[in-house]
């Protein structure tokens, strides 16, 4: 029996291209794993009316962890139109299977590291005034994004149920929308909890302490989102007192978009609720060359799913054009997680250790070398190589 079993979820679009490339690299590393195919994504919605079929949930429940490419998500009316004719009119409602999966397995922490690699032609060079000589600004940031609640909790209404409307209208601020009908307004909620805030802030501070980082920045908007933003800010400030030697500061989501663009090298660990974390991590990705370089891990107490930050980029699907580095660095995060012994702790698979840790290092070193040499690269880096050619070059250095 293999040491680990990994739920293999290419998903949709370029998810397939980058996962195929990653397999080449994992096989070269000789990771002792069984890869269990796991259906997820748009095709399964269209054909079966469920983008995360029950059989896939079984696979997730019996594997060490999951590796995920990307899925395509579309608005509800388009989802209905693409459903197989025999499934229409049955009241089936589309949901994002990756959001569902994060909630179902309580993958509460989304960790998104963004690091510049030497020689990347896409490295950020700062504003010209700040950097008249335009040297690369080397960035090394890690975003901790709360992954199960906030505005992605899925508690939404349109039209408003009578009971919700009545409860809301007790608030005088509802005046502009009162008496205009239940379907005149749509409502999305932003639910944050003390547990959710505590958990994500704890992860961020603990990571900073363990990795010797000196600054943790909370991204919120408590001056406007007074209750939800206020709760998160209170939890953050209180916890910060436990971490002597770490500078804990707060920034508003809008302000940090400006500051990070101006002085990105000043930021190290960033913590945020779900949507602000999503926004700020794309900004960080942009600073290190774009979505082709941004890996991520969805971490829970009992399971973990590793996925690049990017989506399914439908216009490039199946063309083997996109950059596999984000996905390869995602696999590196998985190897680190396995090497920390997490898999066995959950009762699925054996304990990883030094061997997997070393594989993670070799993988990242090979990616860094391929980027630095700049001979084999995809379109986004100004090259003409395919996804697979880049992966093979990484494998060659491994
Ligand atoms: P996207 O991330 O799929 O692509 C946006 C653009 O970024 C692409 O057109 C391409 O120019 C660039 N890009 C992305 N990955 C790249 C790579 N590996 N190498 C080079 N360039 C890359 O985001 P978009 O277009 O907003 O969404 C497309 C679909 O993906 C939608 O259906 C969306 O819902 C879904 N999505 C899924 C996610 C997931 O599976 N976790 C995350 C984000 C979007
Ligand atoms: Mg995103």
Nearest to 288 by CA among 306, 304, 308: 308
Residues 244, 174 share a domain: no
Closest residue by Cα to atom 30, ligand 1, is 311
Residues 147, 260 share a domain: yes
Is residue 291 within 8 A of residue 309, CB to CB? The reply is yes
| Residue at 117 is within a domain | no
| Residue at 119 is within a domain | no
Half-sphere exposure of 219 (CA within 13 A, CB side): 31
pLDDT digits (tens, 9 = 90+) for 287-345: 999 999 999 999 998 899 999 999 999 999 999 999 999 999 999 999 999 999 887 75
Per the structure, the count of domains in the chain is 3
Q: Can you give the CATH number for the domain in which 330 is found?
A: 3.40.718.10
Residues 266, 140 share a domain: yes
| Residue at 17 is within a domain | yes
Examine the fold and report which residue of 141, 168, 188 is the final residue of a domain before the chain moves on.
188
Closest residue by Cα to atom 10, ligand 1, is 313
**pTM, whole model, 2 decimals?**
0.94
Residues 182, 147 share a domain: no
| Residue at 47 is within a domain | yes
| Residue at 256 is within a domain | yes
The dihedral through the CA atoms of 257, 261, 264, 266 has a sign that is negative
| Residue at 381 is within a domain | yes
Residues 250, 138 share a domain: yes
Run of H or E including 152: none
Compute, in angstroms, the gap from residue 309 CA to the centroid of ligand 1. Answer: 8
- Measured CA to CA, the distance from residue 107 to residue 302 in angstroms comes to 8
Compute, in angstroms, the gap from residue 279 CA to the centroid of ligand 2. Answer: 6
Verify cis geometry, omega within 30 degrees of 0, for the bond prior to 283. Answer: no
130: confidence class by pLDDT, cuts 50, 70, 90: low
Residues 255, 171 share a domain: no
| Residue at 112 is within a domain | no
Residues 147, 259 share a domain: yes
Residues 132, 159 share a domain: no
Residues 392, 301 share a domain: yes
Is pLDDT of 127 > 80? no
347: confidence class by pLDDT, cuts 50, 70, 90: low
Q: Closest-lying ligand to the alpha carbon of 291?
A: 1
Tokens 């107490």 locate to 301
Give me the domain span that covers residue 259. Answer: 124-152+191-287
Residues 145, 25 share a domain: no
Q: Closest-lying ligand to the alpha carbon of 276?
A: 2
Compute, in angstroms, the gap from residue 333 CA to the centroid of ligand 1. Answer: 20
pLDDT digits (tens, 9 = 90+) for 353-394: 899 999 999 999 999 999 999 999 999 999 999 999 999 999
| Residue at 114 is within a domain | no
Examine the fold and report which residue of 166, 188, 210 is the final residue of a domain before the chain moves on.
188
- Measured CA to CA, the distance from residue 318 to residue 12 in angstroms comes to 10
Residues 225, 282 share a domain: yes
Residues 131, 276 share a domain: yes
Examine the fold and report which residue of 232, 253, 287 is the final residue of a domain before the chain moves on.
287
Question: What percentage of the chain carries pLDDT values higher than 70?
Answer: 97
């Amino acid at each position: 029996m293999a040491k680990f079993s990994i739920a293999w979820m290419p998903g949709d679009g370029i998810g397939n291209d980058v996962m195929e490339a990653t397999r080449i690299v994992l096989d070269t590393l000789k990771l002792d794993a069984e890869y269990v195919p796991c259906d997820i994504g748009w095709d399964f919605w269209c054909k079966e009316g469920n983008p995360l079929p029950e059989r896939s949930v079984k696979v997730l429940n019996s594997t060490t962890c999951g590796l995920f490419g990307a899925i395509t998500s579309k608005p509800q009316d388009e989802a209905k139109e693409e459903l197989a004719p025999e499934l229409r009119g049955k009241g089936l409602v589309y949901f994002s299977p990756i959001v569902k999966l994060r909630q179902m397995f309580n993958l509460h922490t989304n960790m998104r590291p963004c690091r510049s690699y030497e020689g990347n032609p896409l490295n950020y060079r700062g504003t010209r005034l700040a950097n008249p000589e335009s040297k690369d600004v080397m960035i090394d940031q890690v975003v901790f994004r709360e992954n199960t609640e906030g505005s992605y909790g899925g508690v939404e209404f349109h039209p408003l149920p009578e009971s919700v409307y009545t409860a809301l209208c007790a608030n005088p601020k509802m005046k502009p929308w009162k008496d205009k009908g239940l379907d005149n307004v749509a409502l999305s909620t932003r639910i944050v909890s003390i547990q959710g805030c505590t958990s994500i802030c704890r992860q961020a501070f603990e990571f900073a302490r363990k990795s010797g980082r000196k600054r943790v920045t909370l991204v919120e908007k408590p001056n406007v989102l007074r209750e939800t933003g206020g709760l998160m800010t209170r939890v953050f400030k209180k916890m910060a007192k436990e971490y002597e030697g770490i500078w804990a500061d707060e920034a508003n989501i809008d302000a940090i978009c400006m500051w990070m663009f101006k002085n990105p090298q000043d930021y190290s660990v960033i913590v945020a609720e779900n949507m602000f974390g999503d926004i700020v991590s794309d900004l960080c990705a942009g600073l290190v060359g774009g979505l082709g370089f941004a890996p991520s891990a969805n971490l829970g107490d009992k399971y973990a799913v590793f996925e690049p930050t990017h989506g399914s980029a439908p216009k490039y699907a199946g063309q083997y054009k996109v950059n596999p580095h984000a996905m390869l660095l995602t696999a590196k995060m998985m190897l680190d997680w396995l090497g920390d012994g997490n898999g066995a702790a959950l009762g699925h698979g054996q304990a990883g250790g030094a061997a997997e840790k070393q594989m993670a290092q070799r993988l990242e070193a090979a990616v860094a070398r391929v980027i630095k040499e700049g001979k084999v690269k995809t379109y986004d880096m100004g090259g003409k190589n395919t996804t697979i050619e880049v992966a093979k070059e990484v494998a060659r250095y491994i």
